[in-house]
Chains A and B, each alone.
Chain A
């Protein structure tokens, strides 16, 4: 028996950079450096750990839908230890929304073949946290999402989901879609050996026709949502800053009282 894991990873603009919108109200990706969404590193890490703990052969494929540069995200995941990569790239994908992204990902996952899909809890740009649930719905398999602990054994995936009201133990049969949180365990740094090995690992490129998808089904035109405006938040007006010289707490209390908080 072997276990095929597909890890979905997103290439996103660096959150510490000057993120902004282009004229067509999509994210401007040209002016800001991109990287593998840090939260997807946790997904890659859990795939690697499942592989290390398995008796069976495990094959880990990392999958991204994104522009040319998104290859960087795939390289990072490969250098962490994934086996191969799939890059879905097509000019017509520009401006795809969550429903469209999940369509492309689901088609690619089916074409690749899978027993387990692992995603991050949310991207660091769109931060919607909906793609894993959408993938489960499209693939018709269980969703075992927002796990802070995950394990796979005998065709069953188990995990812990820490919610607001309770911490829940979940269980489902494979195939399934899992998403993991940043509480699932620190992601490893690629080793030098890993980085060198990644250069030789296969990266396949698929476009829409490879997935039997039409341009109208995706992209800005095919989107099911429309952004009407994006405006930069005005900078906050500079506040009052005092240095504590023994009365700092009292001064702060005075401010809070003035604002009617006390």
Chain B
């Protein structure tokens, strides 16, 4: 069976969920071979094997920390040369898309970004994309070269499928471009202890209606009662009430959780672009005409300062 390369997104060896989802999708089109780079690469092997990786190609070098994107492209290109895969799958993060694009160009292949599903087809893998703020669904394939496809988080359920996961050292020689963009400083983001926004099963968001940074405590309390991630509209972010990393929408994160709760958010097209594929959508808004109500499975027309605390209390009571 043909091998399929899966680029591993991990933090010091802890594999992030979107990569495990990719392994599930990869098994539909071939045998997954994972590529893990940087510090802790080898410690990803156990989790990857548990989810279907037959082999895990690893490499560590200071270049991955000191320079932007290109060293990772060099490594992935080396992996493509070594494996001759039927396809290359990369998680759809901002960096993942850049890595995938440069790789595709180098190996003479087309690229599809932000796939939300993947299936085997007669002429290679067929990717489903959700476009124009999720108002259209397209099916596409790469018609030239080895398909390079980036896949959004939450596009498949993680399935265990134990495989060998044999660790093999990948030989990488860095290109002249590898050291072009220096990373001269790095400020790690503080962890909030809440789930990662793009990976969370439930997202609770606040918009301009929350009316102040301090009031986001209400949104956080609701989120915590559900074990959810916190999101925000651009209006709330631009006002400085919540960090930009939590913005949901076209220029923020796209989320596709089981449940999305929008509080004090009108539902502008650019916000919808980032959350419209959520399975169940709930909104609290005092304006019955707000466009967000066109999307909802359940909506409450009311003041969020009344509804949200009552909801949070009720959830706590029910959860005992």
Q: Which positions in A face B, CB cutoff 8 Å?
A: 15-16, 19-21, 25, 39, 97-99, 102, 121-122, 124-125, 127-130, 132-134, 136-138, 140-146, 148, 161-173, 176, 181-183, 223-233, 236, 239-244, 246-253, 255-257, 259, 261-262
Contacts and interface: CB of A to CB of B under 8 A. Distances in A.
Given A134-B105, A239-B299, 4 more contacts: A142-B180, A224-B143, A224-B145, A239-B297
Contacts of A122: 251
Q: Is the interface of A mostly helix, strand, loop or mixed?
A: mixed
B186 A166 contact: yes
B91 to A, nearest CB: 11
Contacts of A168: 68, 183, 185-187
B202 A261 contact: yes
Interface string B3-39: 0000000010000000000000000000000000000
Contacts of B192: none
Contacts of A140: 177
Given A141-B180, A170-B182, A252-B282, A223 B136 contact: no
Contact of A166 (B110, B138, B188): B188
Contact of B299 (A20, A141, A182, A240): A240
B101 interface: yes
Nearest to A98: B111
A182 B220 CA distance: 25
A262 B105 CA distance: 47
B186 A167 contact: yes
B244 to A, nearest CB: 6
B7 to A, nearest CB: 15
Interface in B134-166: 134-145
Contacts of A129: 94, 97-98, 113
Contacts of B98: 129-130, 132-133, 143, 145
B285 to A, nearest CB: 10
A229 B136 CA distance: 10
Interface in B75-123: 93-95, 97-98, 100-102, 104-106, 109-114
Ranked nearest first, the 9 interchain pairs of A and B with the lowest CB-CB distance are: A244-B302, A249-B310, A224-B110, A142-B180, A169-B185, A130-B101, A253-B314, A249-B311, A133-B98
B53 to A, nearest CB: 23
Kindly name the residue among B95, B141, B313 whose own CB sees the greatest number of chain A CB atoms within 10 A.
B95
A262 B111 CA distance: 41
A228 B300 contact: no
Nearest to A15: B269
Given A130-B98, A162-B244, A241-B299, A256 B177 contact: no
Chain B interface secondary structure, helix, strand, loop or mixed?
mixed
Interface in B272-320: 273, 280-282, 284, 288, 293-303, 306-315, 318-319
B145 A262 contact: no
A225 B141 contact: yes
A115 to B, nearest CB: 15
B297 to A, nearest CB: 4
Given A128-B97, A240-B298, A253 B135 contact: no
A165 B188 contact: yes
B174 interface: no
22 contacts: A16-B269, A124-B250, A134-B102, A137-B101, A137-B177, A140-B177, A168-B185, A168-B186, A170-B181, A224-B104, A226-B141, A229-B139, A244-B302, A248-B310, A249-B308, A250-B310, A252-B282, A252-B298, A252-B311, A255-B282, A259-B280, A261-B258
B133 interface: yes
Interface of B: 11, 68-70, 73, 93-95, 97-98, 100-102, 104-106, 109-114, 126, 130-145, 177, 180-189, 196, 202, 226, 244-245, 250-251, 258-259, 269-270, 273, 280-282, 284, 288, 293-303, 306-315, 318-319
A58 to B, nearest CB: 22
Contacts, number: 262
A262 B112 CA distance: 37
Contacts of B306: 244, 246, 248-249
A261 B311 CA distance: 13
Contacts of A128: 97, 101, 113-114
Contacts of A176: 180-181
A127 to B, nearest CB: 7
B133 A15 contact: yes
A259 to B, nearest CB: 6
A144 B187 contact: no
A136 B73 CA distance: 13
A244 B180 contact: no
Given A243-B302, A249-B307, A226 B111 contact: no
B136 A233 contact: yes
Contact of A249 (B94, B135, B259, B313): B313
